[in-house]
Every structure is written in structure tokens, then in C-alpha cells.
Chain A
Amino acid sequence: MALDKATVAHIATLARIRLSEEELEPLANELSHILTWVDQLNEVDTSGVAPMASAAAASLPMRIDAVTDGGCREAILGNAPRASRGFFTVPKVVE
């Protein structure tokens, strides 16, 4: 599978990673190389085979629905690049 520059620009937007125009061509080549290599999986007949998401037990454990943690707002905000009055702050979203 070969990716063109427009596709790379699109997935970079989905992934929220800014790429410059000069970066698109080399990345398109690198990613195409990797995707062509993984195409070998098409040799494998997987009809009727269930997908495996994890090696852990298929069902998740249940626990009592009780508060077990929390009350540590300052500790959490302590790592924020910008915080104000108990909130994370971001550029203005609503005009």
C-alpha cells in the first residue's frame, strides 16, 4: 500500500501532529515502505479466526462501585503547563 502526500497530511491532521510541506514526501515514502512490508499478512488465511485483543482474560473484573481515590486536585494541576483557579486552561475555544 503506497501513501501519497495528501494522505499523509490527512492522517497527520487526525493525529494532531503538524507537518511541514517538506516533511510530507519523505514520510510518505517511509510509511509506504512499512505498509508494503506489513501487506505480507494478506498471505495468511484468517477466515473464521477471531481477533485477539489481549492475552489477558476476556472478561473484565467487577468491583464494588465505591470511591477509592480522588481529592487531589492540586497534585493533578501541579503538572499543568497552564492552570487557573482549579482548572486546566487552553486557548479560547468559543468566540
Chain B
Amino acid sequence: MSDPSLLALNLAEARDGLARKAFSARELAAAYNDAVAEAKPLNAYITPTPERALEMADAADQRLARGAALPLDGIPVAVKDLFCTKDILTTAGSHILDGFHPPYESTVTDKLWRAGAIMLGKANLDEFAMGSSSATSWYRPVENPWRRPGDNRPLVPGGSSGGSAAAVAARAALAAIGTDTGGSIRQPASFCGIVGLKPTYGRCSRWGVIAFASSLDHPGPMGRTVLDVAIMLGAMAGHDVKDSTSAPVPVPDFTAALSGDIRRLRIGIPNEYRVDGMPGEIEALWQQGVEWLRAAGAEPVEISLPMTKYALATYYIIAPAEASSNLARYDGVRFGLRVEGNSLDEMYELTRAAGFGAEVRRRVLIGTYVLSAGYYDAYYLKAQRVRTLIARDFAEAFELVDCILTPTAPSAAFIVGENTDDPIAMYLNDVFTVPANLAGVPAISVPVGLSADGLPLGLQITGRAFDEETVLRVAQILENAASFRHLPGFIAGGRG
């Protein structure tokens, strides 16, 4: 029987405990393996890897015993099932990757294992990371460990990194990695009451991450605290020659940036994020965030990001266009599902019809259309030009301010099955998160309060390219001021 009290520790505390030999990596891994099993009803994991976790823990214990501990030695993490893991089933939440066992390891997971981290399993997600609810997975929806008090209906964890977020929130992982193409780390972090960071484009390698929209996909960390996320990012980041868009820039010590001092920093408050229909409580929490940062000595500055209202439409041209190209590789020839046909074309068509779910199919068709002859200029090129203007908005804002404070999402978690009739209603979840993907700038979501119906809400800090340090520093001020200590209705190991 493992010790459930270990599950209450955050990453930094667990690391200290391991270093002090208060418990072993194997004990910690065993506690998390049991937590993963206990959390099974949430469906946060597609493939748990408990034996791998124990093997890795034993190796970590040997290093700890000889005083040669690595930065993440013994830390059990969940891996979004979009990262290729050598010889371990990797699905992207899609039927079309049935049985795919990658012959290689993604750069980011390789870095984590080289830093001593322990793999608990592959976390569930929206199919090919396309969605905001983690409900489009071929492996069934993920449930949020949070419920509205007095209401037993399951809620979505957000998406697409919803399995990663639900696992961290439910204490079925100490930290996790996700990917963020239009908000897929930050929105689920907000819905599940945890911290999620989308780094700068190029900060973390995309090599071995199953591609959705290559110019918008960002691997990043998710955790219980800002410090935990800073520690994770340090292990994940760095130049990779295998990703031509990976940035050859040094990796700073992100934890050293958490100085607690934001005096004289200028914090932009963009007027355009006051969107129609946003609940008053989110507006109020945003204002509270402004006051917290002001109290810490920062200077709030009203700014304008006039192209914000066009970000979603821009995204929903560019992302499907890139997806339609990236997903052309799923043809029944080299990996995954194959539905036989009488001709090569028939095999392709039947395989892809059977293998792709409704949202993926919708996006591949939209992408094919906007890239097709006669429409390329009107849609795709037009969207790329608007993208330039959106990036310019940020560049101009960052001449005036050091970072930008906004809500992360326009709502709290919604009920499983809501927002499924109208794709655009689902897309609106990403209204505050998509602009940072288009511009490639870093952004973090921090849990700061509860909605009137008892669900977590996050605020977002967006910063200059390659200035995750300021983003993290300001985020920790919010974290400390909010001192969010609420727990979801379900946590592994109980509340004892």
C-alpha cells in the first residue's frame, strides 16, 4: 500500500523530500501509480505506464543515493499523448493512429527523462489536439475532477490538453506536459485550477510532437504552482537541431526569475478583451488582478490591441490550413489504421473516413478548401496578412508595457456535451488565448479564484518573446496574492 500523503506535495516540495531522503522515488512513483488507477473514472490517461514509472524511479533512486541527482529526479509526470514516446503506444486521441508505437522519442520527453523525470503515462486529449473540451478523443471524453457543488453533472476539463490538466488537478500527476496551438495548455489549466504555460514559439522543440498546425504548436509545462512550471520549463527548453524553428537562444534559470519584485513593471490592460457576454465575475476577477499587481508596486497601463477581434477568425483559417497539410500523412500506408480498398485512392478515402472524427474531418475539409486553387489568396493569404497585424499589435504594446494581464478564458468549465451543436460556440473558448499563438509570445494561466458556481478561474499573463522570466515573475505575484487553495471534488488519495 502506497502512501497517499505524498500526493499532497507539489513538485518543488517533492524534490526537496527526495533530496532529504524523506521518501524514495519508488515510494513516490508507487503513490502516483495508485493515484492514476484511482483516477481512472476521469479518463485522464489513455495509456498508463506504471511499470515504466517504477523502473525509472529505481534508476532515480540509484542516482539520489550516490548524490548525483538530476534536476527532476524522481518527479512523476503525465505526457500528453501527442508526444511520441519510443515503443509506447502514441495515439493523438485518434482512431487513425491505432497501434502506433513510435520508433523514436520526442525531444521534449527525451529531455525530461534525461533530467530524471518519471513517466506515469500518456494523457488523453482532443483528437489531434483539435478542441477545447477534451471530448473529441477516440478514447472517450476526459472528465474534470471539479464539479459544481450540489450538481453531479460531469464538466469538461477544457482542451485540448485536458487529460494532462485533469491529472494534475486530481493529484494523479505531479506535473504534466501539454501542447498549446490556440490555448490548449492555458484554457484547461484555467478550467482545472492549475498553472499552465505556453512558452515562446521556438523555446521548446516540436520534434516528435504529432503536428497539428506547425506554426502555432507550442509544447509547454503544466503544474500546481508557478515555481513547479518554471522548474519543468527549464528541463524542457533549449535549442534542437532537429526542429528548424527551434530558437538557438540560451535557457535561463527560470526559477531565479521568481524574485517577487515587480516594482515599476508596466502591466498592459487591453480594452479589447472586454468582450460581449463575458460574465461579470470574470471582469471582477480581472480587476482584482490589476489591484494585486498594483499593490505589489507594478503600474497598470491601459493599452489597445485593436486586432484582437479578428484573431479567432484568422486562427480558424490558418490552423485548419496547416492541419489539412500535416494530416495528409495519415493514409493507411506507413502507420496506424488501414481500411482496404480496391484502389490506392479508395484505400486512402476509406481509411481517412473511418479514422478521423467529426471535428478533425471538419478542419481538414476547411483547410483543404482555403488552400485550394481560387481561394488561397482570399482566405489563407488574407489570414496571414491579418496575422502580421495581430503580431504588430503585440510588438507595439510591448514598447509601452512589460507584460499584459487578461482573463484566460471567457467562462469556467462547462458541462460535458455543451457547445457541441455549434462549432463556433466551442471556438469562442479560445478568444483570449489564440492571439499569443498567432504572435508566438509566451503566456501563462494562473488560478486566482472561483466562479459563483464554485469552479476555478484563471488570469493570463502574456509577455515579450523569450521573456518567460517576466511572465513567470508576475504570475507568481498573482499566485501569492490570490493564494488559491481550493481543491476539486475528486482528488486521488482523499483529502486526509
Contact = CB atoms under 8 A, between A and B. Distances in A.
Partners in one complex: yes
Interface size of B as a range? 35 or more
B362 A90 contact: no
Nearest to A47: B385
A52 interface: yes
Interface centre among B101, B384, B439, by most chain A C-beta atoms within 10 angstroms, is: B384
Interface string B328-341: 10011111111011
Nearest to A20: B353
A79 B245 contact: no
Contacts of A67: none
Given A11-B368, A55-B440, A76-B103, A91 B353 contact: no
Contacts of B345: 16
Given A31-B365, A56-B247, A40 B348 contact: no
Interface string A12-38: 111111110000000100110111011
Contacts of B381: 51
A75 B334 CA distance: 11
Nearest to A38: B313
Interface string B317-352: 100000010001001111111101111111111101
Interface of A: 3, 7-8, 11-19, 27, 30-31, 33-35, 37-38, 40-44, 46, 49-57, 60-61, 63, 72, 75-76, 78-82, 88, 90-91, 93
Interface stretch (B71-79, B173-181, B386-394): B386-394
Contacts of A18: 346, 349-350, 352-353
B336 A81 contact: yes
B68 interface: no
By Cβ-Cβ distance, the 4 closest A-B pairs, closest first, are A55-B440, A51-B384, A81-B338, A75-B103
A50 B353 contact: no
A71 to B, nearest CB: 12
Main secondary structure of the interface of A (DSSP, over half): loop
Nearest to B352: A17
Contacts of A43: 310
A35 B456 CA distance: 33
Contact of A38 (B324, B344, B379, B465): B379
A3 B368 CA distance: 13
A29 B99 CA distance: 34
A14 B333 contact: no
A74 to B, nearest CB: 9
A35 B366 contact: yes
B440 A34 contact: no
Contact of B368 (A15, A49, A63): A15
Contacts of B328: 16
Nearest to B356: A17
Nearest to A13: B349
A88 B333 contact: yes
A11 B334 contact: no
